[in-house]
Amino acid sequence: MTRVASQGNGRARRMDRLLFLLPLLFVFIPYAYAAMSGAAEAGLSGPAAWHSAAQSVYCGNGWTAVTTILLIELAVVGLAVVGAKLAGERLGSATGLLRQNGWILLFFLALVVAPFIIAWNTDSSVCTRGRAFFWESILIDIFILAILALSYNLMFGFGGIVSFGHAAFFGTGVYTVGLLMLRLEWPWWLATLAALMLGVLIALIMGFVGLRIHGLYFALFTLAFAEVLYLLAGNRIMANITGAEDGFTFTVPDWLNTTTNRLFFYYMTLILLAAAFLLIRRLMSSPTGRVLHALRDNEERAQMLGYNTFHFKLIAIIISGVMATGAGVLRGLALKGASPNVLGLDFTMEPLLMTIIGGMGTYAGPVVGAFALHLTEQFLRDSVLTLGSLQIDIGEFWTLILGAIFILSVMIFPQGIVGTWSNLGLNTRQGWLALLRIRRKPGSKEPLLEDRR
């Protein structure tokens, strides 16, 4: 048993390294080509000249050489994933990583290419104001919210800990990094480290005090805790520190400035999203993660088996809190400012809805939910329905329509999009067969759908 578990953990580590390193290589190849083929600005040398030469190529409008390289890379990986899926076990473990993680890998690689595809379709640049630049900001916001949703899913979906105060961590990250950089003029890295440490402190307070009570009472305690921080942030007495209800703005280093270097910030948040995803998956594949599963399903039985449930819940709250605080830090750096609304109930309800829509207790569910909810909201805000000579501005009713879509999604996907798909025991190929109601052909080794219920 130990040997099998060790082999399984080894495969999981190789999968995680592939999912993390391949996107980095995916970006480095076209960047290196752009740096070698481009022309640097006069007077620059060293890394600055290298970067300037690369920008002269990938910052062009519309289709660029970098777009070509990225699409070729995406096509090669896509063909490899499809081939691994179709080959199944016939090629042994050589394609095992792509079979099990292929679609996730393609999803992240598609996000690497997305800004250049948008720039091509809109004849804009990924570096200057235009449609591609605008959609980069939308996707950055989604990446940050997806990290927040992943952190909430760790507590709620995997640990069974219901919290209505997750915004306390998120808002703490925004305010701490901003106040330290604005008032004390700390460097960004030191302010970020201090914010994460404060997130750990809040998690310890919330854990040691709140976990003494259970269920709904703990949820109400976390709600009250976050509400206290919200009131402090908007209090007129503390206006000189927090900016009260108007908030404040602060400056960030040029390389973190989303106005001048948005593409870099885009890739940085995407890498951090991938790291958060892999961290959750590794944690839940570990012995600690298995205990958290047991706590969610039956805490009393876990206690009877000798596990200190308080200890494991506290671990989940700390890791979740640090991730949520980190998402808040990214939000503060991206917007270069803070306001009390980041401590409001919205930033607890949004990750909750994203987790429910995507699938509680699934790895990819919160990410899928973040994209589904935020992109739907974005399209509804800007949509106008034309019926003959009549034009209806859907943007005026977007909240009502979004609520109706949420109700329908819960009815159609009762365990969330990813959760429902997984609970049916369907992989991609079998899923399409099921949707088309295709049965097994005579002599086929494909099991009947009814046999897998």
pLDDT digits (tens, 9 = 90+) for 179-190: 999 989 999 999
pLDDT at position 23? 72
State the average pLDDT over residues 442-452: 44
Q: Give the H or E element holding residue 390.
A: strand 390-393
Contacts of 438 by beta carbon, 8 Å cutoff, 6+ apart: none
pTM above 0.85, yes or no: yes
CA–CA dist 140, 262 (Å, integer): 9
Confidence category of residue 48, pLDDT binned at 50, 70, 90: confident
For 284, the token pair is: 């839940």
Instruction: Find the helix or strand (DSSP H, E) in which 384 lies.
Output: strand 384-387
CA atoms of 199 and 193, how far apart (whole Å): 10
CATH number for the domain running over 131-381: 1.10.3470
Closest Cα partner for 415 from 426, 423, 427, 405?
A: 423
Strands (E), 182-275: 248-249
Q: Among 47-51, 234-238, 292-296, 370-374, which range has the highest average pLDDT? A: 370-374
Q: What phi and psi, each to the nearest 5 degrees, are found at residue 390?
A: -95, 130
